[in-house]
Amino acid sequence: MKTENSQHDTDDVIIEIMGMHKWYGPFHVLKDINLTVRKGERIVICGPSGSGKSTMIRCINRLEEHQKGQIIVEGTELTSDLKNIERIRREVGMVFQHFNLFPHLSVLDNLTLAPIWVRKMPKKEAIDKAMYYLERVKIPEQAKKYPGQLSGGQQQRVAIARSLCMSPKVMLFDEPTSALDPEMIKEVLDVMVELAEEGMTMLCVTHEMGFAKTVADCVVFMDGGQIIERNDPETFFNHPQHERTKLFLSQVLQH
């Protein structure tokens, strides 16, 4: 599944980032980002903290605004046009480090809210869909509970199910396991692996190198707001090209 193989085939390109820059005030956080994501591709983004990985994927659904360059999602360019932004957000699911479930709504309501009010799905259909995805993440019995009554791992699985209920074409994961206790990381990763095996297009910022090795088609390494290296996991972990990558890998793989 090398990305170079299908270079000319632009039909199945789902996200295209070209020469994208971003500043926070005077601080240049993202520099000349170029990234193409094809349908079904699983991309893991890693790098030291502060390297701009989260900011980059947050630009894809416009939680952050970029100032230069182009981001095209599903053929629509992200501009300040609200209608376009909302259309893209419907198609792009996102899972956050801190889950961000809606604490005042039951698990089931968390899952059905957006399908009902954004996709205009009939209530019954939305509930059926929600229950289907709760089964998939293995917690259907928690449907009536509130997020505050669940463990961290369960909350994150609910958050994944909530995104899936919108039938997104791409899923963005922003350090989905970083806020979890060690014994809960596996249950969340298992769900993500399953999702990857079904062919979901995924962009995942994570420090879980095991996950990167097993599911990623491609690993992107970022540092200082730039993409330093992009390679298939085999090459990336065993023959890193760049000095900074080598340094980073020596630090994260030591343990």
Partner 1 sequence: MSSLDNNAQYPVGEHPNWEPPVSNVGVIGWMKHNLFSSRLNTILTLLAIYLLYTVIPPVVQWAILDADWVGSSKADCTGEGACWVYINVWWKQIMYGRYPDAELWRVQTAYVLGLVGLIPLMIPNFPKKKWISAYLLLLFPFMAYVLFSGDNLGLKLVETPLWGGLFLTLVIAITGIVASLPLGILLALGRRSNMPVIKTLCILFIEFWRGVPLITVLFMASVMFPLFLPQGVNFDQLLRALIGVALFAAAYMAEVVRGGLQAIPKGQYEAAQALGLSYWKTTIFIIMPQALKLVIPGIVNVFIALFKDTTLVSIIGLFDFLGMIQLVNTNPDWLSFAIEGYVFAAVIFWFFCFGMSRYSQHLEKKLHTGH
Q: By CB under 8 A, name the binding residues for partner 1.
A: 61, 63, 82, 86-87, 89-90, 92-94, 96, 98, 100-104, 113-114, 117-118, 146-149, 159, 162-163, 166
| Residues in CB range of 70: below 8 A, 6 or more apart | 16, 17, 18, 19, 20, 77
Measured from the CB atom, the residue of 62 and 230 that comes closer to partner 1 is 62
Measured from the CB atom, the residue of 89 and 129 that comes closer to partner 1 is 89
Q: How far is the CB of 115 from partner 1 (least distance, A)?
A: 9
Please tell me the distance from the alpha carbon of residue 115 to that of residue 197, in angstroms, as a whole number: 24
Q: Residue 250: phi, psi to the nearest 5?
A: -65, -30
Q: How far is the CB of 141 from partner 1 (least distance, A)?
A: 17
Measured from the CB atom, the residue of 17 and 227 that comes closer to partner 1 is 17
Of 25, 67, 40, 19, residue with least CA distance to 216: 40
Measured from the CB atom, the residue of 78 and 219 that comes closer to partner 1 is 78
Q: How far is the CB of 104 from partner 1 (least distance, A)?
A: 5
Measured from the CB atom, the residue of 52 and 233 that comes closer to partner 1 is 52
Measured from the CB atom, the residue of 98 and 242 that comes closer to partner 1 is 98
Q: What is the DSSP letter of 85?
A: H
Helix 107-117 crosses helix 152-164 at what angle (to 10 degrees)?
20
CA 131 to chain centre: 22
Q: How far is the CB of 208 from partner 1 (least distance, A)?
A: 21
Length of the chain: 255
Q: How far is the CB of 5 from partner 1 (least distance, A)?
A: 31
Which letter, b or e, does each residue of 34-52 get, where b requires 16 or more Cβ atoms within 10 Å of its Cβ? ebbbbeebbbbbbbbeebb
Q: How far is the CB of 162 from partner 1 (least distance, A)?
A: 7
Please tell me the distance from the alpha carbon of residue 58 to that of residue 132, in angstroms, as a whole number: 28
Measured from the CB atom, the residue of 165 and 220 that comes closer to partner 1 is 165
Percent helix, strand and coil across the chain, each to the nearest 5? 40, 25, 35
Q: Classify residue 182 by burial, with Cβ atoms within 10 Å: 0-12, 13-18, 19+.
A: exposed
Q: How far is the CB of 6 from partner 1 (least distance, A)?
A: 28
